[in-house]
């Protein structure tokens, strides 16, 4: 539509259409065609999954495949919570782990970053370099000894290995992101508060942290998405279905989609949709913060 009016405008103002102008219009139209094709490429699999989650089992395996179910089975979303697999429990587990992980990361990473950005002490710069270098090492290297550690602590098949480590600084990326932000805040703020008699923790908590809200939002979104989608951790540490998170639960469901001898693939699709929706909604509402965070880490990093 916009394309049409623009083409008309150019014709109104310049009766003889210049070849250059025509080229541009064709170019723009071509851009739209490509973008719409890409929308189908990225959108169709999601649309198909959403539609499958509303099908009956015969529709799920109909040949040739059916795109849109005759009568959408909204009840699938209720039924999936009441099958022999503890699907609802997986969601509760995931939510709890995500909350504990995110709070741990936000609180400890901002404290550590405050220390890196505002205090002078021996070894600080070396410590910061070591922090950055941990980003280079693949997780596989530390995974096995960490497993041994948690095994010896008796934490295997509990949720503790999945969130407790995040209360120890939240990882190099979180600390780096927060530190970069603290460095942009004027140091006069701290010095003024210090002269007024505020302690270091008070300066952190009442003066600097309120200014960090945007970057805290960024870090929260990134942490929530990563923690919600994490697969390797829960796969290694959890082994009874009641303890599973959404990711390992889905994997378990996918491996044996015949619950109690009956095929439940339509419910598997509903569970898949339920695992995606919270994250997608979060992205929609926090998009601004998320994009800033990625860009900050990408361009300044």
Exposure string over 208-231, b if 16+ CB within 10 A, otherwise e = bbeebeebbbbbbbbbbbebbebe
Q: Scanning residues 185 to 214, which ones bind another protein (CB under 8 A)?
A: 187, 191, 200, 204
- Nearest approach, Cβ of 39 to another protein (angstroms)? 6
Rounded to the nearest angstrom, the gap between the alpha carbon of residue 96 and the centroid of all alpha carbons in its chain is 16
- CB 76 within 8 Å of CB 54: yes
User: Would you say 2 or 15 has its CB closer to another protein?
Assistant: 2
User: Would you say 191 or 262 has its CB closer to another protein?
Assistant: 191
Q: Scanning residues 54 to 73, which ones bind another protein (CB under 8 A)?
A: 61-65, 67
User: Would you say 211 or 296 has its CB closer to another protein?
Assistant: 296
Q: Scanning residues 215 to 234, which ones bind another protein (CB under 8 A)?
A: 225, 228-229, 231-232
CA distance 252 to 271: 12
Q: Scanning residues 72 to 101, which ones bind another protein (CB under 8 A)?
A: none
Angle 185-188-189 (CA atoms, 0-180°, nearest 5)?
Answer: 65
DSSP symbol at 157: T
User: Would you say 211 or 278 has its CB closer to another protein?
Assistant: 278
Q: Scanning residues 141 to 180, which ones bind another protein (CB under 8 A)?
A: 141-149, 151, 165, 167-169, 175
- Nearest approach, Cβ of 199 to another protein (angstroms)? 9
- CB 181 within 8 Å of CB 253: no
Determine, following the binding rule CB under 8 A, whether residue 240 of this chain makes contact with another protein: no
């Amino acid at each position: 539509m916009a394309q049409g009016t623009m083409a008309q405008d150019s014709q109104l103002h310049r009766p003889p259409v210049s070849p250059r102008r025509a080229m541009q219009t064709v170019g723009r139209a071509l851009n739209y065609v490509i973008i719409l094709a890409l929308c189908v490429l990225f959108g169709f699999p999601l649309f198909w999954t959403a539609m499958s989650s509303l099908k009956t089992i015969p529709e799920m395996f109909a040949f040739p495949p059916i795109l849109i179910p005759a009568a959408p089975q909204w009840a699938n979303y209720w039924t999936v919570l009441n099958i022999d697999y503890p699907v609802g429990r997986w969601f509760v587990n995931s939510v709890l782990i995500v909350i504990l992980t995110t709070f741990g990361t936000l609180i400890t990473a901002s404290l550590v970053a405050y220390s890196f950005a505002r205090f002078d002490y021996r070894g600080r710069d070396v410590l910061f370099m070591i922090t950055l270098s941990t980003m280079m090492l693949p997780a596989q290297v530390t995974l096995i000894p960490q497993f041994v550690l948690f095994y010896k602590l008796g934490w295997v098949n509990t949720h503790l290995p999945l969130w407790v480590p995040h209360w120890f600084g939240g990882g190099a990326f979180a600390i780096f992101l927060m530190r970069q932000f603290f460095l942009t805040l004027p140091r006069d703020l701290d010095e003024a508060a210090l002269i007024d008699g505020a302690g270091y923790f008070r300066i952190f908590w009442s003066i600097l942290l309120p200014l960090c809200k945007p970057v805290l939002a960024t870090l929260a979104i990134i942490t929530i998405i990563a923690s919600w989608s994490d697969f390797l951790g829960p796969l290694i540490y959890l082994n009874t279905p009641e303890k599973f998170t959404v990711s390992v639960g889905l994997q378990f469901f996918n491996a044996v989609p015949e619950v109690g001898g009956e095929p439940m693939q339509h419910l598997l699709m509903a569970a898949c949709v339920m695992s995606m929706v919270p994250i997608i909604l979060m992205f929609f509402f926090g998009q601004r913060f998320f994009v800033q965070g990625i860009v900050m880490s990408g361009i300044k990093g």
